[in-house]
Structure 1
Amino acid sequence: MTTTDTTAALAATGPLVCAECGDQDANGYVVTILDTADPKHTRTEVCTDCHAALAA
């Protein structure tokens, strides 16, 4: 998988929404795509604030 594949897969699945707090306008997100062939069903994202809280 290349960065281009990941970027294209992410763009194809729609807007980012934090799975923890629901924020759609965060400054950054941590995104996990398990399968770039099916990103809509294998993508999860959390905003960087929630990611930091979960990591603590």
Structure 2
Amino acid sequence: MTTIRVIMSMVAVENLHLEQMDVKTTFLHGDLEEELYMMQPEGFVEPEKEEMVCRLN
């Protein structure tokens, strides 16, 4: 927490622009070059299509 306060103080004193990035979800915004398939997420399975998979775009 101290490190965050120091960085925020430096940004305020130097009148800098601060940006935040969420590295855990970065892959969600990438372009796929290969075909990827996944099982249907729990709760989104369509009746009579339980064995089908989803193709990611």
Query: TM-score of the superposition, structure 1-length normalised?
Result: 0.24
Could you say which structure has the higher strand fraction?
A: 1
Q: Which has the higher contact order (CA 8 A, sep 6+)?
A: 1
Could you say which structure has the higher helix fraction?
A: 1
Q: Quick check: which has more Rg, 1 or 2?
A: 2
